[in-house]
Amino acid sequence: MNVSVERRVAQVDVNLARWQALPEDLGDRYFLVNAAGFFVDLVEGGRRVGRYRAIVGRRDRPTPVFVADMTYLALAPSWEVPPGIARDDVLPRVKSEPRYLADNNMRVFDAATGSPVDPGSVDWSEVSSFEVNGRFRFREDPGPRNPLGQVKFVFPNRHNVYMHDTPARQLFDQSVRTFSSGCIRVESALDLAVHLLESVPGWPRARIEEAVALGVERRIDLPAPYRVYVQYFTAWVDEAGIPQFRDDIYGRDGTGESERATRPELAAAGLDAFGGATCLD
């Protein structure tokens, strides 16, 4: 209520430009991720068949805007630690906590050869943040504490962003869900996997659950890709015709003094207007 009419009009104008930048026909089956609304819609046959609460990137590591095709999912995924987290998070913890890697079910590999490395053979105090990614790769094996949870949904893109489960499911109860490092954590991920694999022979729910419990990563290709629109709408009209407004969590609307103005030429291009932050979780 404490928002001027002029500001609401500007907000609507910005979001209309975002919609207009998308294709007129979004396709027969697709995902619409609204980072500002914290939800993921699944549309099939022209109607919404599912809405899932989502966790998106923090303000300092925002989820980018782009479009890609989901082609496969991974059950019991391992987590390849991205360079940013290896440098800024893992290395400092390894230096200060000798059991950090073991306690987090994490293995080390030679960056050049891919061969396993015994963490005890490395003098971590001598490894700098500038060289760690040139020498090592870190991988967290599948398990109940793995940050990707039970399933990962992959739509290859230059941002290395994907959707995935999470062991921290209590975070879905928060109203503002900016907790990730860029990727999209999706509620009820296992149920979503079951739905996507309904037409894949040999993958009923029981077998999916068995594969997850086995703890060995398993890739399953989808019969046909799903288009994934990762977007940022702070204003829209819902199915009941009621206008919905959300906070501009990333400062992209350009309607406040501290917010970054939307660049018209990028909005017109539409499909990759805001990027630069790769997924780190």
Let me know if 159 is a catalytic residue.
no
Q: Is 164 tagged catalytic?
A: yes
Per-residue exposure over 96-115, b if at least 16 CB sit within 10 Å of its own CB, e if not: eeeebbeebbbbbeebeeee
| Token duo for residue 256 | 């406040």
Q: Are strands 47-57 and 39-44 parallel, antiparallel or unpaired?
A: antiparallel
Q: How far is residue 142's CA from residue 45's CA, in Å, rounded to a whole number?
A: 34
Q: Which of 159, 183, 195, 279 is catalytic?
A: 183
Burial 8-44 (b: 16+ CB within 10 A, else e): eebbbebbeebeebeeeeeeebbbbbbbbbbbbbbbe
Q: Are 112 and 105 in contact (CB under 8 A)?
A: no
Which residue has tokens 């206008």? 243
Question: Which active-site residues does the annotation give?
Answer: 164, 183
